[in-house]
Structure 1
Amino acid sequence: MDNLSNDKTNTETHRMEGKCPFGGDRIGGAQGSPPTLEAWYPHRLRVEVLHQNGLAADPLGPDFDYAAEFNKIDLAELKRDIKAFLTTSVAWWPSDYGNYGPQMVRMAWHAAGTYRIADGRGGAGTGMQRFAPISSWWDNGNTDKSRRLLQPIKHKYGNALSWADLMVLTGNCALEIMGLPTYGFGGGRLDAWEADNATYWGPEVLDMEKTDDVSKMTARDKRWRGQNGDPDYDLENPLAASHQALIYVNPEGSNGDGDPMGSARDIRITFTRMAMNDEETVALIAGGHAFGKSHGMTPSRDIGPPPEMAPMEAMGLGWHNPRGTGHGKDTMTNGIEGSWTPDPTRWDNSYLENLFRFEWKQTKSPAGSIQWTPEDPDAPKTPDAHVAGQMNPLMMMTTDIALKVDPEYRKVCEKFLADFDAFTQAFSKAWYKLTHRDMGPRHRYLGPEVTIEDGLLWQDPLPERDYDLVGEAEIADLKARIRDTGLSVSDLAFTAFSAASTYRDSDKRGGANGGRLALEPQRSWAVNRRTLPVVEALRGVMAAFNEGRGDGKRVSLADLIVLGGCVAVEQAAGEAGGELRVPFTPGRVDTTQDLTDIEMFTWLKPVADGFRNYVDEGFGEIARGVSPEEMFLDKANLMKLTAPEWTVLTAGLRALGANHDGSQTGIFTDRIGTLSTDFLQNLLSTELEWHKLDDAALTFALVDRETGERRFTASRNDLVFGSNAQLRSICDAYAGRDGEERFRHDFVRVWDKVMMLDRYDVKGHRRHAPMAA
């Protein structure tokens, strides 16, 4: 052995005998050192995120039909079980005021409150509060106890009741037993089975075990631009919470500084990012704070680590409190101590009444956190949650005082003060939106308590179909009519993909159903300009087909856009020598501009879309260091594509010439409109080499090694399939001589998957539904 004597080698071998091979001094070792790949290659594209929460992680298997199982539950009996539990108390975690209701409202609120409109991620839809990092955020302190208290009910109903549905339903039941008439409940949330390793929650890396208070722990400087109060003051996209490890904002103020006006600005930004307007924001804060209490009897520095850092014998429970009993009157959550109202388990308007009736002075909790108490010593008191006969001063947080000092929030508060019924309805509807916002279309809602009101704009409503569906004969006729328009394969495919690819699985929004490609704001997006003449031509086909028919059958523009893509792919496959039939499922409807929330749909506008080789003009400012290929990966993830599907779909779209501007970037073929593997073959060719065309390495030229002739141009979204080892290995599987037929068949399957992503009117509640044949 080079540079080592045999004696030293023998000594080292002897020293290692009987030792654990996973030493903590090794990169990637098992004793706390970072994962090898992330430590060694921090800029590596993490393609593996596309395969999270897959079939291998799911103990219920691909055929488990959650809707069928959930619908077997007697919802009334389930609610009776939950409500009976809520008014009990157990010794290991006693309820405040003999009622777990406020605690469970907080659990449900924090499960849903992670939702953010920018990318649709977060929310209560998959029960992610059970997993890291959310399970161990400081703001979720002791929600682990809430879920553990619910475990007997979960076990009673088994897999027919997901944790995600149970948490939200328990929040509803809690509100009902305390006097709030809830707006409704829709089941249908499918549990995740592993931690989310893909969602970006912020740039901060914090040691949550070694912090003295919330303000120090929740660093904010890396996620904000500008100073609080400046015109350019805003959060980094796609984030919504004001601080790392919080759900909304720091209750002590913008920087833990106790400034109500600065807090109001934070509240408006964060709640807007969570898709709430001013009235909904006030309703949620004032309504939620009508119940329960905050806990701050123990300094945060004394509290043990969160669940993901707790010792094994804690069995998944964190935040051990060594003070006193560790619970009950000694409980610690956010460090603020006290109740907002004199009757913390009853729905009333006393929160707003007391907020405006009294002047409030700043003080400190026993844990040292900033809070507010009435200046008037004769103000009402609130009973202690655990000590019989003891009365305590009312409490407000800086975020509560913010509602009083901000002019716009104050107007809403005064409206609710004058009309308690209006407040009740506003909170009930805002709570329904909060807990259902990420569920997507109403087709996914299950159970007898689904609200029947139409026109809830945040649900992206679609009108009911009032005509019969076209059959095989009519579909064949429509295909012929589409071909007769003279529209190119490339234009038809691009338009169909543009309609369908707005879908994001995070909150089930977007997709081709509804025909919103023809409405604002989508029709005016720069990435969709190429679709305008295609949509108009297809309108003509629709009008001619629908006019004067006596058989009751009609076709929507939304269906025609997708069918046009089917025509294009079938023609492209035929040009490649492989006759293929692309599946088409009719039934899409056309919605209206009035049923389309322009502001909320603007959030679906892509900053970068690698499928169509599009990068927004403001990409650099918006992306702030995130590369186009990272955004491309994120787009594939939101569309629920696997790595092979991502690769095949991109290669096929390049063969079809589906760039947003009709350019030649990434079109590594002379046969545009032919469903070939030319993109893959030229990408991997050893006879060609790539040269940068700009210092930022955003565009490239493919040059013949021998002649120096420039053959093709490419973007980073093209070259990533050759530069990334995992994607390159997939390309190899299709680029060989035996890969072309497989490629065409696989492209048709993934094409149909994309066209059907939003069709919850025909899809069931199986997590791993097979792709269409």
Structure 2
Amino acid sequence: MSSDESSPGTPSPNARKPNTDWWPNRLDLEILDQNARDAGPVSDDFDYGEAFQSLDLDEVKADIEQVITEPKEWWPADYDHYGPFMIRMAWHSAGTYRAYDGRGGAAGGRQRFAPISSWPDNANLDKARRLLWPVKQKYGRNLSWADLMILAGNVAVESMGFQTFGFAGGREDSFEPDKGVDWGPEEELETQERFDEAGEIQEGLGASVMGLIYVNPEGPDGQPDPEASAENIRQTFSRMAMDDRQTAALIAGGHTFGKVHGADSTENAHGPDPEEAPIENMGLGWQDGETAREEGVTTSGIEGPWTSSPTEWDMGYVDNLLEYEWEPEKGPGGAWQWTPTEGEDVEAAPDAQNPDEEVTPMMLTTDIALKRDPTYREIMEDFQENPMEFGMSFAKAWYKLTHRDMGPPERFSGPEVPEETMVWQDPIPDADYDLIGDEEIDQLKAEILDSDLSRTRLVKTAWASASTYRDSDKRGGANGARIRLEPQRNWEVNEPEELETALETYEDIQQEFNESRSDDTRVSLADLIVLGGNAAVEEAAAEAGYDVSVPFEPGRTDATEEQTDADSFEALKPRADPFRNYIRDDVQKPAEEVMVDKADLLDLTAEELTALVGGARALGATYRDSHLGVLTEAEGALTNDFFVNLLDMGTEWEQTRDSETVYEGRDRETGDLEWEATRLDLIFGSHDRLRAIAETYAAEDGEEMLVEDFVDVWTKVMRADRFDLE
């Protein structure tokens, strides 16, 4: 068998064609299947944070530093030090995060899987992970790959003289790629078809080019245009919730170390990526024979260091950028880079492989962008005048970059977790009072149900508060009661006027209860809102003939405006909420695809999605109390009517003339209008898998199952952000 025939990237001639290829418009539920099972050998009850806490972190870091400072013959180390290599690996692991949906980032250690593992921007990072394999092998599952890759970056900068802000462990490992991430519309790597007419990157995407972490280092479209590059930089870094100062600090701090690699033209120097490599490469890609040892590595196609001391933390990058003039040229790798203009005497650096030789530092177009853009330049000049401020800015920005997707500090483990909590971590105050017990819970539920708030309003308020949770980056949720703060308080989907009434009622109940206590027992608004939703669900089940108790755990507290980054929270605003039958007019994707995406962010399975939608429709918990999808004459009771009437063959559905998303259900015999619904409803009858689940709930013995399953998934969402209970 030839190496081409044995390549993992070559399809087998007997490969089966999946349903999505036969029917590309079919709704794909695969991302929800990831939530229904545990891929990999680690059991579901294994606690990565607890396991990390058991490690001797000093020993682990010493082992990592040994790897970093002891070059291996099979892969060259620039300057006999793998530190810059490990920084790049850690940066590219975390840098895929985007604030839009919280996906990407270091969690899961997904740099090990396609497509990220084979992106051009990650060329040769497979070698960095192989260098770390002895450390991973020694500590096993107690040290996840996700933690190890970031920790290696921290150890790297520390080994070169920088003091990091801290490190938190506890990231879980994934054993498959995240199938829910949309990396872009392009069909080829290193192409860009993601800009709208205004020059903005399409909503939801982070990088400007397919297969890159951020932007093209040569400049937009491979042209050395610093001003246009600055625009791209600002866009892409803002997509991961970095401001201009944090962006400048990250670029300047990262480029203080190491070099870029373009020893030869990419056509001659690159082998196939890991996914296309022959099987005997054992998962390693970009194998270019002896080129790496004899002539130097080619990765980006750009060649040279930024400073004269590439393995030391200093002000070399900032000084070189600001104090000298630079001009574009094509480097040995055939890519645009910037060299000092004639007469500029920039201090030389040692050659990466031969310390007896010297090379002239270079700059990327993305570096010159920091000098040409007025805002970035002002920041860089401030850094030059205040080296300590530069160091602290880089330390905090690096910490944010590498920890942004971990969620609140309650999930952080290890002795190096900083005492300070930043606003981007969505801090929530500790309860400085005694929590309510069973007696108080019953008392408060009775008061809530006796208030002027309808059962539907109680359900919708609780849902609006809790359903902002995103399992992708552990943000949002009911804890903190941020629904009463900007920006959530005025989101259209939350029906601000009605929400205001509900919040005023809850505040009155809270004040009366807390002031009436002679002891230290208090209740938060966050707990009251969830408790009210639970009480409404219990009453709805009772009206349908079922005696259920919805689990409730007090302990949520109320965040303040100062603890809330309003701009960052705007990313959590629902573009669609299938459970309230709401979808914004500007959403371009089919409603059912957006529904699946929302369900995935809530960590729901296909079964949980179905039960939740069916129960919510029975409760009438729709946006603006719309009748769309409320397929029952007993609205407010937790019945299985939604499924029974949706699947009734006596009803014929047709699209309305006035809307592409609204459908009328008419009696087949009389033609009378019976129901109105949306695509978010009809998909449970038209999609084979969802219909199979819906049929189970629609059966005569299915209602009790629906009630039980609805209570379970409702509880799951209400407590999704209660990391203190794990």
Maintained 8 Å contact 1:700/1:715 = yes
Maintained 8 Å contact 1:321/1:327 = no
Maintained 8 Å contact 1:29/1:35 = no
- 3-state DSSP class of the match of 1:703? strand
- Please point out which of 439, 442, 460 is paired with 1:473: 439
CA distance in 2, matches of 1:133, 1:52: 17
Instruction: Give deviations 1:97-146, integer Å, cap 9, x for gaps.
Output: 11110000000000000000111110001101000111110000011000
Q: Kindly indicate whether residue 61 of structure 2 is the aligned counterpart of residue 79 of structure 1.
A: yes
CA distance in 2, matches of 1:470, 1:328: 71
| Map of 1:129 onto structure 2 | 111
Instruction: Give deviations 1:534-588, integer Å, cap 9, x for gaps.
Output: 1211111111110142221110000000000110000000001010000001100
Q: Kindly indicate whether residue 534 of structure 2 is the aligned counterpart of residue 552 of structure 1.
A: no
Q: Kindly indicate whether residue 176 of structure 2 is the aligned counterpart of residue 218 of structure 1.
A: no
State the percentage of identical aligned residues: 51
1:336-415 map, 5 Å: 336-375=302-341, 376=343, 378-415=345-382
1:114-513 map, 5 Å: 114-206=96-188, 217-220=189-192, 222-226=193-197, 232-302=198-268, 303-322=270-289, 324-327=290-293, 329-375=295-341, 376=343, 378-454=345-421, 456-513=422-479
| Map of 1:598 onto structure 2 | 566
CA distance in 2, matches of 1:385, 1:445: 37
- Please point out which of 631, 656, 669 is paired with 1:693: 656
| Map of 1:651 onto structure 2 | 614
- 3-state DSSP class of the match of 2:562? coil
Instruction: Give deviations 1:688-747, integer Å, cap 9, x for gaps.
Output: 010100376310001110111101111111111111111000001111011111111111
Call closer, same or farther: CA 1:423–1:505 in 2, change over 3 Å: same
CA distance in 2, matches of 1:329, 1:377: 27
- 3-state DSSP class of the match of 2:221? coil
Q: Write the letter of the residue equivalent to 1:357.
A: E
CA distance in 2, matches of 1:308, 1:54: 27
Q: Kindly indicate whether residue 63 of structure 2 is the aligned counterpart of residue 91 of structure 1.
A: no
Cα distance, 1:388 vs structure 2: 2.7
Q: Kindly indicate whether residue 511 of structure 2 is the aligned counterpart of residue 543 of structure 1.
A: yes
Cα distance, 1:71 vs structure 2: 1.4
- 3-state DSSP class of the match of 1:233? coil
Maintained 8 Å contact 1:53/1:192 = no
CA distance in 2, matches of 1:113, 1:173: 18
CA distance in 2, matches of 1:57, 1:591: 36
- 3-state DSSP class of the match of 2:654? strand
Cα distance, 1:427 vs structure 2: 0.1
Maintained 8 Å contact 1:353/1:417 = yes
CA distance in 2, matches of 1:34, 1:399: 44
CA distance in 2, matches of 1:487, 1:290: 59
Cα distance, 1:56 vs structure 2: 4.4
Call closer, same or farther: CA 1:363–1:87 in 2, change over 3 Å: same
TM normalised by structure 2 equals 0.97
- 3-state DSSP class of the match of 1:44? coil
With 344-353 and 52-61 compared, the bigger mean Cα shift is at 52-61
- 3-state DSSP class of the match of 1:234? coil
TM normalised by structure 1 equals 0.91
CA RMSD of aligned residues (A): 1.6
Maintained 8 Å contact 2:35/2:604 = no
Cα distance, 1:330 vs structure 2: 1.9
CA distance in 1, matches of 2:344, 2:360: 9
Maintained 8 Å contact 1:225/1:235 = yes
CA distance in 2, matches of 1:423, 1:377: 25
Cα distance, 1:486 vs structure 2: 3.2
Q: Write the letter of the residue equivalent to 1:253.
A: G
- Please point out which of 671, 694, 713 is paired with 2:676: 713
With 66-75 and 96-105 compared, the bigger mean Cα shift is at 66-75
Cα distance, 1:305 vs structure 2: 1.4
Q: Write the letter of the residue equivalent to 2:529.
A: I
Maintained 8 Å contact 1:113/1:247 = yes
- Please point out which of 634, 639, 646 is paired with 2:602: 639
CA distance in 1, matches of 2:354, 2:490: 62
With 548-557 and 501-510 compared, the bigger mean Cα shift is at 548-557
1:566-645 map, 5 Å: 566-619=534-587, 623=588, 626-645=589-608
Q: Write the letter of the residue equivalent to 2:190.
A: T
| Map of 2:720 onto structure 1 | 757
| Map of 1:104 onto structure 2 | 86
Call closer, same or farther: CA 1:531–1:34 in 2, change over 3 Å: farther
CA distance in 1, matches of 2:70, 2:14: 41
Call closer, same or farther: CA 1:281–1:59 in 2, change over 3 Å: same
Q: Write the letter of the residue equivalent to 1:218.
A: E
Call closer, same or farther: CA 1:585–1:449 in 2, change over 3 Å: same
Maintained 8 Å contact 1:94/1:328 = no
CA distance in 2, matches of 1:168, 1:138: 20
Runs of 4+ residues over 6 Å off in structure 1:
none
With 28-37 and 465-474 compared, the bigger mean Cα shift is at 28-37
CA distance in 2, matches of 1:457, 1:731: 42
CA distance in 2, matches of 1:560, 1:696: 39
CA distance in 2, matches of 1:54, 1:480: 36
CA distance in 2, matches of 1:305, 1:244: 17
- What is the count of residue pairs matched by the alignment? 715
- 3-state DSSP class of the match of 2:42? coil
1:656-735 map, 5 Å: 656-694=619-657, 697-735=660-698
Cα distance, 1:308 vs structure 2: 1.1
- 3-state DSSP class of the match of 1:701? strand
Cα distance, 1:58 vs structure 2: 2.5
Q: Write the letter of the residue equivalent to 2:402.
A: T
CA distance in 1, matches of 2:419, 2:392: 16
Instruction: Give deviations 1:189-216, integer Å, cap 9, x for gaps.
Output: 001111222210000011xxxxxxxxxx
Maintained 8 Å contact 1:67/1:188 = yes
